[in-house]
Chain A
């Protein structure tokens, strides 16, 4: 893939996002027709409920300077019903991203070599970050068998957002094509359930690849449940400092588009291999 191809891909993705995000201006007010309104169809910048503002024009202009939920009005001292439901919908998105497991059928369908950290449950995963950084014995055996030592090992982990997996089918091909363009071989993709970032150090030590890339779900913000991070390191080991990792964060359709991120990641991996360093030492 050359630079023109990447640019074209990015343009297509961005156009698609713009089309998907277009919403009617009067959304999040009582619905018409046979459906209740979609309270999430309006952005917080555009949602406005103050009935008789002293300065409507000024208020709306002011709201453009922040995504904070302003101009939401009230019922007595309490929240307006629709702004409250919008907030609840956004929190629900975040909660579902954290507390829902990734569908095992999806993992199999992607052809990943699938294993698990030392955590046995979501609860244990949330309360014991130390266990999420280590592979369980079965996974160690599996990875040792199936993940042949290669220049680049790619890992996917659920992390704190199962919803972030939606980015994987867009990032992975972009990364692989980018690497192919540089003539770099990547082996089969490993998947780790209940995965913390530190699990990549365990994999690095186990497989002995030159660089490891981990695509992992970020802790969701309100209404940004799909955000994913890419952590990369040259010869990662558990005793290396966190500053040895290079990270590209905020990957999702509303942040850094996944295809664009994938191409960028491939370039970073190439530089790590060339310079044999990563993290803060790799000047970006």
Chain B
């Protein structure tokens, strides 16, 4: 194993594979904060050169957190298909990158390949890719999943309707649901981040969603993003939920900071099999984001891209319907500006898809990051071009509860129009039936008018 290279007359040596992975990253303020980033641009390239020459087997055998110490590592390593791994372990990382990008490599080829990869290998390939490489690579990894409807089909672009409210006021939440649906948002999920993480509140909002969904026959899935154990208690007591949500991290320690373990997630999935409101089989929803492990001091000295890839390896065990990175939420000490947020969004989407999870992205920013709505619109365009399963939709891009900005309701149809995509097929048909769009996808006068839900009932139409 070669951990040394000479670049322009200067020799660069790296401590171990963890060090190579960290220093090969594109610039991230979080890696600098952790004190593990390359110190010069040349050192960064030297690390990429060393990484490119490593064998897939070298990288697999050097998990950034030891197998014995960490449940996430164990799940990732145990879920590798050893037959597929044996067929690729002697490829260099450079060859792996080129294999993924090769014209002759099909979607099926990449899906098979992904069963033989660990998260460190996935992250390693991402570090050797330019932004456009990440986009083309991700586009090849088509990952579909089914809950009540099927997400991730080619030519389909979904959105999460995120009707957050500073006090979880049911009237306010419902108003935001109506407005979102009137803009063709919500085919991926209608999902609320509650202010109050209680069984009573979770049940109240789930009931509200179920009632509205039944009244208007909305072909989608609904979810309240409370802690997994809160949702489980609500479901056990009879509440109807289509998905169970949880934030996850790339190490056991990071998951402990979220008060979650693999066992809890398996229990949640088993509960959904017996008490869930949806068809399935994919009933889990996970959110992630670069830097969360460092922020809870659970990164084990590893870089934030590698830790993020490990989230996807962990998520895959539970066969989720939705996984999304919340890419600009964490702040400038982890992702400094729009360049870093954009890069991270493309990395995360690619790594999720290469891992084999149905990946979406919350393209967003906080007010102390050097980014604005134009940057987030740019990222959304790049994501849809990459085949991203879904992005978020909040009223006018302004989340009044989480106090950040992301893609707005208006982006859904704008992006579908730009790329000639549709909503998830069942939802698309519902939009036509509701006369929001014509069968030729022209917007009607009803499109964008939430008050259509105040005057009529589906049965009367």
A residues sitting closer than 8 Å to B (CB atoms) are 50, 52-56, 58-59, 62-63, 65-74, 76-79, 83, 87-88, 90-91, 94-95, 97-98, 126-130, 160, 219-222
Contacts and interface: CB of A to CB of B under 8 A. Distances in A.
Given A68-B400, A91-B372, A129-B333, A219 B367 contact: yes
Q: Which 8 A/B pairs are nearest by Cβ-Cβ distance?
A: A66-B172, A69-B396, A65-B171, A94-B367, A55-B451, A58-B454, A65-B172, A59-B451
B363 to A, nearest CB: 16
Interface stretch (B41-49, B208-216, B341-349, B440-448): B440-448
A71 B172 contact: no
Contact of A62 (B165, B171, B398): B171
B400 A67 contact: yes
Interface string B65-79: 000000000000000
Nearest to A66: B172
Contacts of A160: 368
Interface in B146-181: 163, 165-166, 169, 171-176, 178-179
B446 A78 contact: no
Nearest to A160: B368
A164 B171 CA distance: 32
Interface in B17-47: 29, 32-33
Interface stretch (B104-112, B381-389, B410-418): B410-418
6 contacts: A55-B451, A79-B396, A87-B373, A95-B367, A127-B333, A127-B336
Contacts of A83: 396
A127 B29 contact: yes
Given A65-B171, A87-B398, A127-B33, 10 more contacts: A58-B455, A62-B174, A65-B169, A66-B400, A68-B175, A70-B179, A72-B396, A127-B332, A127-B333, A219-B366
A68 B172 contact: yes
Contacts of A79: 396, 408, 410
B121 to A, nearest CB: 30
A78 B416 CA distance: 12
Nearest to A222: B398
B446 A54 contact: yes
Contacts of A74: 410, 443, 447-448
Q: Which of B169, B332, B333, B451 has the most chain A CB within a 10 Å cutoff?
A: B451
Q: Which of A50, A62, A94 has the most chain B CB within a 10 Å cutoff?
A: A62
Given A66-B176, A91-B405, A52 B445 contact: yes
Nearest to B397: A87
Interface string B354-398: 000000000000111000110000000000000000000011111
Contacts of B447: 74
A63 B29 CA distance: 40
B423 to A, nearest CB: 13
Contact of B396 (A52, A77, A87): A87
B366 A66 contact: no
B452 interface: yes
Given A68-B395, A79-B410, A54 B452 contact: yes
Contacts of B172: 65-66, 68
B175 A66 contact: yes
A90 B403 CA distance: 12
Given A59-B451, A78-B410, A78-B414, A222 B367 contact: yes
Interface in B327-346: 332-333, 336
B414 A221 contact: no
Contacts of B95: none
B450 interface: yes
Contacts of A58: 451, 454-455
A98 B397 CA distance: 20
A77 B398 contact: no
A63 B175 contact: yes
Interface string B398-435: 10100101001010011001000000000000000000
A281 B225 CA distance: 30
Nearest to A72: B396
B449 interface: yes
A94 B32 CA distance: 26
A62 B175 contact: yes
A129 B445 CA distance: 50
B368 A98 contact: yes
Contacts of B403: 219, 221-222
B444 to A, nearest CB: 12
A50 B448 CA distance: 8
Contacts of B456: 54
Interface in B56-106: none
Q: Which of B166, B449, B456 has the most chain A CB within a 10 Å cutoff?
A: B449
A77 B418 CA distance: 11
A77 B175 contact: no
Contacts of A94: 367
Nearest to B401: A68
Contact of A91 (B171, B367, B443): B367
Contact of A70 (B413, B445, B450): B450
A53 B179 CA distance: 12
B398 A69 contact: yes
Contacts of B173: 66
